[in-house]
Amino acid sequence: MHHKIEVENLEFTYPDGRKALHGVTLVVQPGEKVALVGPNGAGKSTLLLHLNGILRGQGTIRVAHLDLADGNLGKIRAAVGLVFQNPDDQLFSPTVFDDVAFGPLHMGLTEATVRTRVQTALAAVGMQDYRDRISHHLSIGEKKRIAIATVLSMEPEILVLDEPTAGLDPRARRTLINLLRQLDMTMLVSTHDMRMVAELFERTVIMEDGRIVASGETATLLADPVLLARHGLEMF
Amino acid sequence: MHIHLHDQYQQAQTLIHGLDARVKVILTVLFILTVSLTPFGAFGAYIALFALIMATALLARIEPTYLLKRSVVALPFALAAITLPFTVPGQTLLTIPVFGGLTVSAEGVIRFVSILIKSWLSLQMAIILVTAFPAILWALRALRIPPPLIAIVSLMYRYLFVLFDEAMRLLRARAARSATQDGTRSGGSLAWRGQVAGRMAGSLMLRSFERSERIYNAMLARGYQGQLLGLEHGHLRSRDLVVAGIMVALLALILLLSRI
């Protein structure tokens, strides 16, 4: 089952007074893979952190047909797999196994189910042999894939990734892109990797200064050099 | 570049590695308790306890030299007892002509050496225990240690390395820009150097603080509700009970003999 993200008129101000989101409205259709691009500080990460209620701004958010409200947080967090930009923040447990098991355990699943889920999630990212490893000793590419496994094990309807290819060498990047292509789920991915955007995402959303400034078919947007230049983006 | 601590010994398949983690934790605590209960100057008991450590290390296929090297970190802490030779009354060994004559007593020296040996013995056993850290966390949880403490230890274990790497990057960045010109000395005054070091420490603290917030968010995003959960790591087997029984008997025997 695929689910939908609906964000309407979302405003958010950081505690230090910096306004990060100015009325963002965004709909991601079930099964759609959408890229979120824009310069650093445009509010991409801030927006993503709203999608499972880590940050709470003003406006309405509906995820997987659930209103984002205190009573629904648990269900929404199970439905939205949010992968953070820095895998060292995402992988906080002593071993890979513990990290991938963290989500399922906190969902209250039985031990047998947790073990199967961990197995399946690690297999999905091609890291089955790493279950007893210590995250610190892995390469960035390996850490990124395991970070994705840590949310896949929760079997979310929606995958939200923050700069998945940042800091990867070409081979690790290619592995990751292939992995994202295989995953058949609703996906919202913030990135600076325009070639990946062109290759992987049907739709692209451009953000700048806390606003969505353009949204449409990736091919159309990327073919508009004036638009890209205006928002500090370039294709090659 | 990463730092590695003791992880190279974690994967072995030996009798000791295969023991239930709870048994290992309890036996280690009992061992340390025995060490602290043996009287001062019971050198025969110390040798017996040391033999026990070496036997365990042998079974766990840990090189004795590795164990000895690692356990040296205990020595500076034992120096807290350095005043004992001067303060414990007893037969005078020698008098040092400072502060109007410090007398060193035989009883004091024995007590100091005993404390040194005891802390060193305790630490060696603890090092053997640490051969499987994640299992120990589970054992502590199973032994009903308060969850916040376990969470702290668990996160410390994970991020100590990350922090260390970060500190090394800071130091390297400083080294890379610490250039000299002909005729001038590099680095400026001591006060200035101190200021640089202080700012680096501050920046490391701020970074850690921000990181802790991101980690907490990552935990929330996966359903964290204030308590770290874990799976069962194993069940008590008869082998665990046999090893525990032998160990407890040996410890009791050593303690008894040292006390008569």
Instruction: With respect to residue B184, please indicate whether it lies within any of the assigned structural domains.
Output: no
Q: Is B71 left (phi over 0), alpha (psi -120 to 50) or beta?
A: alpha
Instruction: With respect to residue B222, please indicate whether it lies within any of the assigned structural domains.
Output: no
Query: Is residue B1 predicted with pLDDT exceeding 50?
Result: no
User: Mean pLDDT per segment of 10 residues, for chain A of length 236 residues?
Assistant: 84 91 93 93 93 90 88 88 90 89 90 93 91 86 92 92 90 91 92 93 94 93 91 81
Instruction: With respect to residue B77, please indicate whether it lies within any of the assigned structural domains.
Output: yes
Residues of A (87-126) whose Cβ lies below 8 Å from B: 88-95, 98, 101-103, 105-107, 111, 114-115
CB contact under 8 A, A154 and B161: no
- Total domains present in chain B: 1
A191 touches chain B (CB under 8 A): no
Lowest average pLDDT, out of A149-153, A204-208, B166-170, B185-189, goes to B185-189
Chain A residues touching B225 at Cβ < 8 A? 106
Instruction: With respect to residue B54, please indicate whether it lies within any of the assigned structural domains.
Output: yes
Residues of B (213-242) whose Cβ lies below 8 Å from A: 214-215, 217-225, 229-232
Query: Is residue B94 predicted with pLDDT exceeding 80?
Result: no
Task: Give Dmax over CA atoms of chain B in angstroms.
Answer: 74
Which residue of B lies nearest to A115 if distances are taken between CA atoms?
A: B231
Instruction: With respect to residue B226, please indicate whether it lies within any of the assigned structural domains.
Output: no
Query: Is residue B3 predicted with pLDDT exceeding 50?
Result: no
Query: Is residue B166 predicted with pLDDT exceeding 80?
Result: yes
Residues B18, B242: contact at Cβ < 8 Å? Answer: no
Which residue of A lies nearest to B231 if distances are taken between CA atoms?
A: A111
Q: What is the pLDDT of residue B165?
A: 85
Domain of residue B41, residue span: 7-131+234-259
Chain A residues touching B231 at Cβ < 8 A? 101, 105, 111, 114-115
Residues B229, B24: contact at Cβ < 8 Å? Answer: no
Query: Is residue B2 predicted with pLDDT exceeding 50?
Result: no
CB contact under 8 A, A106 and B158: no
| Identity of the residue numbered B75 | L
Distance to chain A for B11, nearest Cα, Å: 9
Distance to chain B for A150, nearest Cα, Å: 8
Instruction: With respect to residue B22, please indicate whether it lies within any of the assigned structural domains.
Output: yes
Task: Give the one of B2, B218, B224 whose C-beta lies nearest to A89's C-beta.
Answer: B218
Q: What is the pLDDT of residue B130?
A: 66
Task: Locate B157 and state its tokens.
Answer: 């274990």
Q: How many CB atoms lie within 10 A of CB A34?
A: 22
Complex prediction ipTM: 0.82
Instruction: With respect to residue B191, please indicate whether it lies within any of the assigned structural domains.
Output: no
Instruction: With respect to residue B143, please indicate whether it lies within any of the assigned structural domains.
Output: no
Chain B residues touching A51 at Cβ < 8 A? none
Task: Locate B3 and state its tokens.
Answer: 């730092």
